[in-house]
Amino acid sequence: MLTWPILTLSIVLILTSVVLAMFVLLHKGRGGGMSDLFGGGMSTSMGGSSAAERTLDRLTVVIGLVWLAAIFGLLVLYRFFPDFGTL
């Protein structure tokens, strides 16, 4: 049964999944692992992170936490409140 809280959290989950995937793909490869397969190991690092990279890191963490909260919210709604807010 579809309820408005489940529908809302499902939409939030879909949107944050797409945004999180984009943010992860925007990160610069650190070398080693899978990033070497696509040429990421060829670039040299200048040392520290730029302000844009730090901002991207923070946004990725925030979106990841929202994504995780949506998953736990759906878990709680499906498990304990399946009829709450029935459409």
- pLDDT by residue (tens digit) across 56-66? 999 999 999 99
Q: Where are the beta strands (DSSP E) in 1-87?
A: none
What does the alpha-carbon distance between residue 58 and residue 71 come to, in Å, rounded to a whole number?
20
Facing residues of 3 across strands? 86
| Range ranked top by mean pLDDT from 9-13, 77-81, 83-87 | 9-13
Instruction: Name the pTM for this structure.
Output: 0.73
pLDDT, tens digit (0-9, with 9 covering 90-100), for 4-56: 889 999 999 999 999 999 999 988 776 555 555 566 555 555 555 688 889 99
Q: How confident is the model at residue 82 (pLDDT cuts 50, 70, 90)?
A: confident
Residue 63: strand, helix, or coil: helix
